[in-house]
A and B are shown apart, each in its own frame.
Chain A
């Protein structure tokens, strides 16, 4: 029988981790995501599945514990919120450079600096362009409901392990604090140590049996030629991810003249904005990227051929809009791309989105034709 509950997004992250066979969680408290570790500590999964939960002394330590544990072939994760993710970025770069799988959750809050504890999407660039130093990417998933907060823990791990690359769930304080109906996943057993030896024995620091050479987990290569080769391999992997792992959802895009593009919480707002706009007679649809890296370029290129315009709706100063512009440019289209958003922890209302759409595309709406340059 399905296990259906009413849960907060943050609590669900914890429950999903336990159920998907996660081996360890290392974290540090920060609002608005502290319930993740609190839920884990209350659930005491070490008595049930053997999962380790440890409160680290800092985000820096937490991500390095993840690096150590992930390097040993275990399925491990951490979660934090924006300022904490900045602290973790160096570690993430090492993890990407050493090609280790792990899951990192960013329950975003408004920045820059200490900012606010209210929801935000201002870490889009940080998540999808790397964040730390060097050329690397995080597989970035953007849930828009508590159910997806649940589902993407397992998916994030799956993709991370498949590509030996860190995956990030990029969510925000609203989804973290919100309660919704959620159908929890069934329990999956943790991998046993012999299974880990078998699956990841070619790279994991499990302790070196006589039967194999030593494994060294490192991102250091002193020879630039070799380091370039590594980089080329990473880039090839990222292209493969772009080829195979794009996920998105379209809502009423078939006949849409105007496409709202939004992810996470703002995509929820936009669903309602679509309803309001349609009531007003405007043919509006919504494209919701589910993977932010890889970014759903192809569908944007397709939509660019028939839409009058795109409006990127974000809880930031306009970050994803740059990726939309890039996709539209690659499609050779001159369709206009605009942005609307709120910052500092404010979630736009559906009404504001519709107003912004009407204002930014007033020319097209009045004359019913594409403005060309």
Chain B
């Protein structure tokens, strides 16, 4: 198993930390992981993206042109990365702020209204965990137990009291994800 994915959105949406929790959960599953952020001018431009690779074997290139999965959280990222999903791959997005929804027909497309749900849950900061939950529903490559252990490892101890809330958000994301197209 090798999963090559990109998470792309605005800085502040928790893109990098979602990637980190995903990678840490992968380690808990005894897999090889690579987390490769965009850094530099792109960060300043307001967008943030991170490539995460989880694999049973040694990971090769962190630089990837075509992804198994793209998690897209703003329009700029949709414009940039919709075309980068491999044929038969997965695109998961949050419709908030998306004016041009994906148009490809050779990939599976899922949507989760995580922005709205996070507000309803009374904590916008769990936004990324809702998206993460949806991803885990579509690609059940990690067990929830290991995700919890991943959260414990990647969150500083002073935030460990937020783990139940994060897990709740993950479960919400698993419930709420909508399939728009499956190939």
Contacts and interface: CB of A to CB of B under 8 A. Distances in A.
A6 B63 contact: no
Given A4-B27, A6-B24, A32 B35 contact: no
B10 interface: no
Contacts of A349: 61, 63-65
Contact of A173 (B27, B34, B39, B63): B39
B11 interface: no
Interface string B152-173: 0110000000000000000000
Interface residues of B, number: 24
Interface string A170-182: 0001100111110
Contact of A268 (B26, B35, B39, B60): B60
A68 interface: no
B20 interface: yes
A6 B62 contact: no
A269 B61 contact: yes
Contact of B62 (A4, A117, A174): A174
Contacts of A271: 58, 60-61
A6 B23 contact: yes
A180 B23 CA distance: 8
Contact of A179 (B20, B40, B58, B61): B20
Interface string A4-19: 1110000000000000
Interface residues of A, number: 28
Given A6-B24, A6-B27, A181-B27, A174 B36 contact: yes
Centre residue among B32, B36, B63 by max chain A CB count within 10 A? B63
Contact of A32 (B32, B33, B39, B60): B39
Interface string B12-37: 00000000100110110001111111
B33 A177 contact: no
B40 A118 contact: yes
A268 B65 contact: no
B37 A181 contact: no
Contact of B40 (A116, A268, A275, A348): A116
B7 to A, nearest CB: 13
Contact of A180 (B35, B63, B153, B154): B35
